[in-house]
Amino acid sequence: MLTDPTDPSRVLIEVSDLGGRHDLVQRYGGPLGRVVTWAREYLCRPHPELGRNGPVCPYAQTSLDRGTFYLAVCPGRPTVDEVAEVLAGYRSWFQRLVSPPKVSPQFRTILVILPDLPDALAAEVVDAAQLALKSDYVAAGLMIGEFYPGPPPKSGLWNADFRPLGCPVPLLAIRHMVATDFPFLKDDPGHAAAYLERFGDRPPAALREAIAVARQS
C-alpha cells in the first residue's frame, strides 16, 4: 500500500494488499476484489464483440503483472463536485508516481472506485464527473475513463454495437494518454490539439489519415 507523501489520508491499494488488515481493505475488500477479478477476466481477455483481436485492454495484464495497477476508494455517496475534488488529488499523485525500472508509464493506472454509490446514481455521478474532468486531464497528457454497471452507453471503436465500459463497481480510471487515443479525442478541438502536441509527429499508421484531416481543420 502506498501513502501520498503530501497527504497521509490518501492511499493507493495494490493488488497484493487485498486480504490485508488495512481499514479500507477490511471494509471494501468485496468491491475491490470484484474490480480486480473484472480486470483479469474481462480487460485482460479477448471479447467476441470487441471487433478486433487481442484483449479488451492491451495494457491491463502488464499493469497487473508489473505492480502498477493501483486502486483507491472514494466512500459514501459523493456529489459530482466531491468526486472531482477527490480525483484532483489522485491526478496530482499519479503525475508524481514513478514506475518500476523498465516498466513504461503507459502501464500505470489508478482506479478510483465508488463502492457505496447505488447503481441508480452511478451513471449520473460518474458520467458528469468524467465530463467535468476530461479537458484538464487531456491537457495534462492524461485520460480519465468512466466505468459502471449498465454499462455506459459509449460504443466500442471497432464495433458500434459493443459497450465496453461496463464494470461491476462504479469507478473512474486515470492513465496516461497513448498514441491510439486519438479516436476518443478527435471530436473536441482542444482535446485533438493536446493529442497532436504529443503524438502528431509519430501517429500510429492506422490513424495517419484521420490525424492529417484533423491537422487541416
Per-residue pLDDT reduced to its tens digit, 3-36: 999 999 999 999 999 988 889 999 999 999 999 9
On whether both 75 and 131 belong to a single domain, the answer is yes
Name the percent of the chain in helix, strand, coil, to the closest 5: 45, 15, 35
Other CB atoms within a 10 A radius of the CB of residue 48 amount to: 7
In this predicted structure, what is the pLDDT of residue 216? 66
Residue-range definition of the domain harbouring residue 199: 179-217
Cell of 118: 447505488
Residue partners of 10: CB distance under 8 A and separation at least 6: 3, 4, 72, 89, 90, 93
Per-residue pLDDT reduced to its tens digit, 134-176: 999 999 999 999 999 988 888 888 898 999 999 999 999 999 9
Q: 169 forms bridges with which residues in the sheet? A: none
Pairing of strands 69-73, 7-14: antiparallel
Per-residue pLDDT reduced to its tens digit, 69-80: 999 999 999 999
Count structural domains, the chain. 2
Answer whether 0.85 is exceeded by the pTM.
Answer: yes
Positive or negative, the CA dihedral 168, 65, 103, 203 is negative
In this predicted structure, what is the pLDDT of residue 130? 95
CB 191 within 8 A of CB 144: no
On whether both 100 and 196 belong to a single domain, the answer is no
On whether both 73 and 157 belong to a single domain, the answer is yes
pLDDT band with cut points at 50, 70 and 90 for residue 118 = very high
On whether both 69 and 118 belong to a single domain, the answer is yes
Per-residue pLDDT reduced to its tens digit, 167-203: 999 999 999 999 888 888 988 999 999 999 988 777 7
CB 87 within 8 A of CB 144: yes
What residue spans of 97-159 are helical by DSSP H? 119-139
On whether both 125 and 213 belong to a single domain, the answer is no
